[in-house]
Structure 1
Amino acid sequence: MEKKLIRSCSIWRALEVVGDVPILLILEASWLGGKRFDEFRRRTGLLKALLSDRLGRLVTGGLMEKKLYCDSPPRYEYLMTTKGQDLYWTALMLLRWEKKWQVKDKINVELIHKTCGKMFDPVPACGHCSEEIDPTRVAWSEGPGLGWMKPLYSRRRKTRESTGDTTSLMDQAAQIMGDRWGSLIMRSIYTGVNRFDDIRADTAIATNILSERLTWLTDMGMIRQSQYNSNPPRYEYRLRRKGVDYYHALLMLMQWGDKYFVAPEGPPLLLTHEECGHDLDPQVVCSECKEHISFQDVSYRIIDRRPMSENDSEPVPVSRTAS
């Protein structure tokens, strides 16, 4: 029997770790100052058993470390490691996309860059020319680590419910990245693989799952279906502007995957920034001072614009600062 293979990719390897909505919600809670189990439960709304399982996975995966802070009774904190903090740029791109494309009257956040003291937006920029990265101006070629491997998809439940009852800043952004199959489809389309059979060959996703995810991404406004053959009907899938803008989140995730999961031969994919002609060195910079953003350089203020009760006709702003 022929084995199904998937194009090796740092995004795929990274999604094995973070392609899960509860994982993303826990990481977000940690970036917002959460350290202890009850804080994570309050911020994420996850059930105790699920939260405990995912915290264990994050510790095992090296993204968090578990430290004892009370001996009697034993109490622990979960602190993000350097490996976990290196996902911060991915999180900023998810937040940037969410703020642009999703409902405005909900929980939002203002970011303050401590270096310049100004409120800022995170901007994806080329490390060589400092210009904002336009996804349509990035070329790709096969890298030394490109190959084909047997996919080892672990079973995960689809998580499509809104996170509206929690303090999450990301709703649809977390749903997309938390759905590994959906993210792999977007990866394929970004690299010019547009037709159903070609996407299936590229991702090794089962036909029924691929059909469902393509419909989901289409209904969400990420991609559009275009007929290229009438007899029999055949379709290809093209990016809409909303899907193009999501590129930066997967780009930063690929960079993280290249750092922590790259093959000995090198990265599987090489990117060139056509604006300057250099290898693309993606960075996240401050919209105000244009300086490189790091996790330690950012403070925030959360603004909750949701109604205080079902009887309220207007949202009530409530702001708070990071502890």
Structure 2
Amino acid sequence: MQSSKFIRTCSIWRALEVVGDTAVLLILEANWIGARRFDDLRERTGLLQSKLSDRLKRLVAAGVLEKVRYVDAPPRYEYRMTRKGLDLYWPALMMLRWERRWSQRSGGLRLKLRHRLCGQVFEPVPTCLTCGDEIDPRDVDWAEGPGVGWMAPLYSRRRQQRNSGEAESSLMVDVAQITGDRWAGLVLRSIFTGLRRFDEIHRDTAMATNILSERLSWLIGIGVIRQHELTGKRFEYRLTEKGLDYYPVLLMLLRWGDRYYVSPEGPPLILRHKSNAHALDPAVTCSCCGQPVEPHDVTFEILEAPAKTPENAA
């Protein structure tokens, strides 16, 4: 039997080792919308100088950003997305999609996206390129692939919170609280792969029981999962519609992790789509023309979001 001190690895977990941090997500968001220099990033993110410097070093070391000199004397630098960083565009769009659908905050910022290929303002859609249908997690089967393995978890017990100043200048607040917490991501991975009882999730994640209890309570509190009572005073954890709609974020992180961190043996997870079990080929497409969207094909406009009222908050 596998030791409870190890967790089952997959490309989602490997991706979250890089981006599963709220400060990192703030930096990437700011960089996407034009902040390249240190002072601009600090102003945009609201991060302390020491934390910003530390996270930038991590992103450069991970190959997501590159530090480029743009003035020789005195030397001045800016941070640019590498190809690896640009490939996080689809996870970012799925985070933006979830935030638009489920965030309860008032005001803030939002983006109007326009696709150059068709010229239309669009919404990003998670799509299977094999069949052309929008991806619903209820239509996807998961199986362990040849690259599945086990690793020791070495992460903080505490969830990372954004302060109010950061939230005001951010496009994605609520979704980043989930993506920025690697333990929460691991819990959701377990539930999406059919492990719904406390003991099953505990074995899969190797989390201390008190940490697991806290994450489950938190995910229930924000409406992502719910308790479902079974016989004999037992219960399991099931995804709500809000939780199911988070699936494309994990799916695009898995795709990114498969591209950059897959083992020589192959992918850790194999995905099959619908009743005929064809291979799932996930992409983010334009809601207007149906074509995959790439960073260089999208323009955006930053808008102030209207405050939510009882009539439009649903």
TM range (shorter): over 0.9
1:121 corresponds to which residue?
A: 123
Letter in 2 for 1:27: L
Tell me, in whole angstroms, the C-alpha distance in 1 between the residues paired with 2:41 and 2:142: 39
Percent identity between the aligned chains?
55
Per the TM alignment, residue 116 of structure 1 is displaced from its structure 2 partner at its CA by: 1.0
The 5-angstrom pairing of residues 9-28 of structure 1 reads 9-28=10-29
The answer to whether the Cα contact below 8 Å between 1:3 and 1:150 also exists between their aligned partners in 2 is no
Per the TM alignment, residue 73 of structure 1 is displaced from its structure 2 partner at its CA by: 2.5
Tell me, in whole angstroms, the C-alpha distance in 2 between the residues paired with 1:55 and 1:189: 32
Matched, 1:171 2:186: no
1:159 corresponds to which residue?
A: 160
Matched, 1:247 2:247: yes
Per the TM alignment, residue 74 of structure 1 is displaced from its structure 2 partner at its CA by: 2.0
Letter in 2 for 1:236: E
Tell me, in whole angstroms, the C-alpha distance in 1 between the residues paired with 2:296 and 2:208: 42
Describe the SS at the equivalent of 1:119.
coil
Which 10-residue stretch deviates more, 30-39 or 216-225? Answer: 30-39
1:259 corresponds to which residue?
A: 259
The answer to whether the Cα contact below 8 Å between 1:10 and 1:258 also exists between their aligned partners in 2 is yes
Tell me, in whole angstroms, the C-alpha distance in 1 between the residues paired with 2:259 and 2:108: 35
Q: Report 1 or 2 for greater relative contact order, CA contacts < 8 Å, sequence distance ≥ 6.
A: 2
Question: 1:28-53 CA deviation, whole Å, 9 max, x = no partner?
Answer: 11111111111111111111100000
Tell me, in whole angstroms, the C-alpha distance in 2 between the residues paired with 1:32 and 1:276: 41
Describe the SS at the equivalent of 1:118.
coil
RMSD after superposition: 1.7
Cα distance change of structure 1 residues 200 and 156 upon mapping to structure 2, 3 Å threshold: closer
Cα distance change of structure 1 residues 20 and 194 upon mapping to structure 2, 3 Å threshold: same
2:135 corresponds to which residue?
A: 133
Per the TM alignment, residue 150 of structure 1 is displaced from its structure 2 partner at its CA by: 2.6
1:305 corresponds to which residue?
A: 305
Tell me, in whole angstroms, the C-alpha distance in 2 between the residues paired with 1:169 and 1:176: 14
Question: 1:52-105 CA deviation, whole Å, 9 max, x = no partner?
Answer: 000000000000000111223221100010001111100000000000011363
Per the TM alignment, residue 227 of structure 1 is displaced from its structure 2 partner at its CA by: 2.3
2:312 corresponds to which residue?
A: none
The 5-angstrom pairing of residues 73-152 of structure 1 reads 73-103=74-104, 105-147=107-149, 149-152=150-153
1:181 corresponds to which residue?
A: 183
Cα distance change of structure 1 residues 219 and 157 upon mapping to structure 2, 3 Å threshold: closer
The answer to whether the Cα contact below 8 Å between 1:129 and 1:276 also exists between their aligned partners in 2 is no
Q: What TM-score results when the alignment is normalised by the length of structure 1? A: 0.90
Cα distance change of structure 1 residues 106 and 3 upon mapping to structure 2, 3 Å threshold: closer
Cα distance change of structure 1 residues 60 and 71 upon mapping to structure 2, 3 Å threshold: same
The answer to whether the Cα contact below 8 Å between 2:127 and 2:283 also exists between their aligned partners in 1 is yes
2:295 corresponds to which residue?
A: 295
Letter in 1 for 2:52: L
Matched, 1:48 2:49: yes
Per the TM alignment, residue 305 of structure 1 is displaced from its structure 2 partner at its CA by: 3.3
Gaps of 5+ in 2: 310-314
Tell me, in whole angstroms, the C-alpha distance in 2 between the residues paired with 1:209 and 1:191: 20
Matched, 1:193 2:195: yes
The answer to whether the Cα contact below 8 Å between 2:88 and 2:256 also exists between their aligned partners in 1 is yes
The answer to whether the Cα contact below 8 Å between 2:153 and 2:206 also exists between their aligned partners in 1 is no
Per the TM alignment, residue 118 of structure 1 is displaced from its structure 2 partner at its CA by: 0.7
Describe the SS at the equivalent of 1:141.
strand
Which 10-residue stretch deviates more, 250-259 or 65-74? Answer: 65-74
Cα distance change of structure 1 residues 252 and 69 upon mapping to structure 2, 3 Å threshold: same
Tell me, in whole angstroms, the C-alpha distance in 1 between the residues paired with 2:213 and 2:281: 34
1:67 corresponds to which residue?
A: 68
Describe the SS at the equivalent of 1:144.
coil
